[in-house]
Chains A and B, each alone.
Chain A
Amino acid sequence: MGGYTVGELGAIFVMQGFSGLSLFCVYLLMALGLAIIFGQMGVINMAHGEFLTMGAYATVFTSKLAVDHFPALVGVYFPFAIVLGFLIAFGMGYLLEVLLIRHLYKRPLDTLLATWGVSLVLQQVFRSAFGAREVSATLPAWLLGSVKPTESIDIPLNGLFMMGLTLVLSLLVFIFLFRSRWGLKVRATTQNRVMSGGVGINTHKVDRLTFAVGCGIAGVAGAVFTTIASTGPTTGSLYIVDTFLVVVFGGAASLIGTVASAFSIAQAQSVMEFFLTSSMAKVLTLLAVITVIMARPEGLFSIRVRK
């Protein structure tokens, strides 16, 4: 076995499985918000990554506040930071919808250009406001390091935390979309805007809320990503391509599709990275996705509608 003991290979297998799952969580956290916005509303939001950055900065500032003024709270500030990240991204998303997006619903290609512009503007705003340098949050001790079930296996604590949160957030999104009045209105509006208006649904209000919630989820993702990645003005742009990839591959209108797509892309990427190099893994993943999209332009899962 190449000079390795069975125990060593077993440990690597477990850790490799875990890193695949962490990658799945990263993709899913990012894609959930976009799946709602892009999938449900058909808005191509290129500024999605910047809402993630807002969540990340919110976390960094909460941590600074805790460290400087409330040292006793350093261990527990993180959940508050996540909530704050959500609220800020939600608020800004709401504002963006009111000021810009709602004027562009009938021009989807223009939203692409407009939101890309918004993304550039926001990046420079972050840079001017918070400085061009990367910053880091002081993480509570329970998010640092790893658990060791055996001598040779390390499971990252921040990865476990991220998984838990992804699970909770996904459940909440599902409940909201498929088990609540609001979700019903969203789905109705997505399927037939005129008819929904006809039966008394305030479609503009639904749009605003849906868009804002999608952005808020990106904020949550940003808050969590401070534990595994960088916080800087352009942090969000590191994720945006992968995120669109996941949503499009999964089938824009289907949340189940997003989950399945995040899982398959993450596992493929993670396994190939182990046996090949990171760059090669990326190339092969993209090739596979392109092949599937060519065969099934609507993505892995799609809702059957009469056209």
Chain B
Amino acid sequence: MKTGIETRDGCSGKWIRGIFPAAAVVVMAAAGYGADAKYPTAKVMTTGLAVTDNEVTVGILHSLTGTMAISETGSVEAEKLAIAQINESGGVLGRKIKYIVEDGASDWPTFAEKARKLLVQDKVAAVMGCWTSASRKAVLPVFEKENGMLYYPTFYEGLEQSKNVIYTGQEATQQILAGLDWVAKEKKAKTFYLVGSDYIWPRTSMKIARKHIENVLHGTVVAEEFAPLGHTQFGSLINKIKLKKPDVVFAAVVGGSNVSWFKQLKAAGITADKQTLLTISVTEDEVLGIGGENLVGFYSSMKYFESLDNPNNKAFVPAFKKMWGPTSVIGDVTQAAYLGPWLWKLTVEKAGSFDVDKVAAASPGIELKTAPEGYVKLHENHHLWSKLRIGQWKADGQASLVYESGLIEPNPFPKGYQ
């Protein structure tokens, strides 16, 4: 997987090489592409980026192979869909978006190396990419040094802000606080059992959750426990939960462990009729592996569910399934990844330029009214204002919406939670 649209690499003969780009230009001109007189290339791009009169190149940088491919596949699909739709509707400043796909291979140094390749060698105008915090931390210095623009889709632990990154997922407070408020009010919850996988995101999330439970909700955390990544046996942990009988189990278990966790909960007789469980790590993607029957009645705290009933989402879901197959599912992060190319397009058009400094400066205040999750707006801190939604899982793998907050201001450095 090197390039998305092979204009040169795919053809062998010399004469084809000569003719094909020429033909492509003709086709694109016919389709309405080509630099608008208002936006000559020399004016919209002054920093040597890969922008021509007809085309602008962006990068897609996710894990296509390795353990993280499981999560990142959906993001790649959503980004390709968004780019295809933008191209159909006339491109960005009259230019068609061409993308180069690079594989981070679930390996953080590889992410950094590929990011450098995209920025230095390919001169891409923006990169949609990364999933885990580890990969983002690995590419961050590269983006800051080479002055690139990264659109990062995953909900994450916060505590970060960069001129060179736009965070289209929720930071921790947006996902956790409103969710805990809801469960405390709706379920009259006083005692909480916190469970997570043992790495930075669950640990930071649980730290924030604990402060909120103790200081704001005046509840009790009866236990906070982390299982090693890849842990497959939750028998002892489940017995501890049975002994402590918390009002709510608040969970952030990830990956293969997540599947074991829910299957074994069900097998041990902990089901929604007896135990309230709120998780921040289950989207429609995870349900595929866990199986809807093991999740029935449990709650997820997310900003997006595939089943959302609004006009934007009603257009988005069929378009996604048309492109990627009727059995594909759309999780929270997949939707957030879909926002990346659209936000970038709006920002470039507001700035009237592809230059990274101008795009970064124009980002605050960008409003996207067509997002499947509903209206979103970019904050000065480069995160999105977004709503918090609680979904209750059904056996068919879809969630029914039980609560929706108002727009929540992103706050990656929450005071009193560190």
Q: Which residues of A contact B (CB under 8 A)?
A: 4, 8, 11-12, 15-16, 18-20, 22-23, 26, 124, 127, 131-139, 144-146, 148, 154, 156-159, 227-235, 237-239, 269-271, 273-274, 277-279, 281-282
Contacts and interface: CB of A to CB of B under 8 A. Distances in A.
A274 B268 contact: no
Interface of B: 64-65, 67, 69-70, 72-73, 198, 225-228, 230-233, 235-240, 242-243, 255-260, 263-264, 266-269, 285-286, 288-291, 293
B316 to A, nearest CB: 20
A158 B256 contact: no
A15 B67 contact: no
8 contacts: A19-B239, A132-B69, A133-B289, A136-B289, A148-B269, A229-B232, A273-B236, A282-B228
A131 B232 contact: no
Given A229-B256, A235-B256, A237-B230, 12 more contacts: A26-B232, A134-B259, A136-B291, A156-B264, A156-B267, A157-B267, A230-B256, A232-B289, A234-B256, A270-B235, A270-B236, A271-B236
Nearest to B264: A228
Candidate in A20, A144, A230 with the most chain B CB atoms within 10 angstroms: A230
Given A23-B233, A158-B267, A133 B260 contact: no
Given A228-B263, A230-B289, A233-B70, A273 B243 contact: no
Given A26-B232, A136-B259, A235-B256, A228 B267 contact: yes
Candidate in A131, A133, A157 with the most chain B CB atoms within 10 angstroms: A133
Contacts of A15: 235, 239, 242, 268
Contacts of B233: 19, 22-23, 26, 269-270
Contacts of B243: 4, 8, 12
Contacts of A158: 263, 267
A278 B228 contact: yes
B293 to A, nearest CB: 7
Contacts of B239: 12, 15-16, 19, 274
A37 B235 CA distance: 29
A134 B70 contact: yes
Contacts of A279: 198, 226-228
Nearest to B235: A19
Given A270-B235, A278-B226, A278-B227, A230 B267 contact: no
Given A154-B269, A278-B226, A228 B293 contact: no
Contact of A131 (B73, B198, B236, B256): B73
A236 to B, nearest CB: 10
B237 A278 contact: yes
Contacts of A124: 65
Contact of B268 (A132, A156, A270): A156
Contacts of B232: 26, 228-230, 238-239
A297 to B, nearest CB: 27
A158 to B, nearest CB: 5
A153 B76 CA distance: 46
Contact of A127 (B69, B259, B264, B266): B69
Contacts of A132: 64, 69-70, 72-73
Candidate in A15, A134, A144, A145 with the most chain B CB atoms within 10 angstroms: A134
B323 to A, nearest CB: 16
A229 B265 CA distance: 11
B73 A133 contact: yes
Contact of A146 (B237, B263, B268): B268
B388 to A, nearest CB: 25
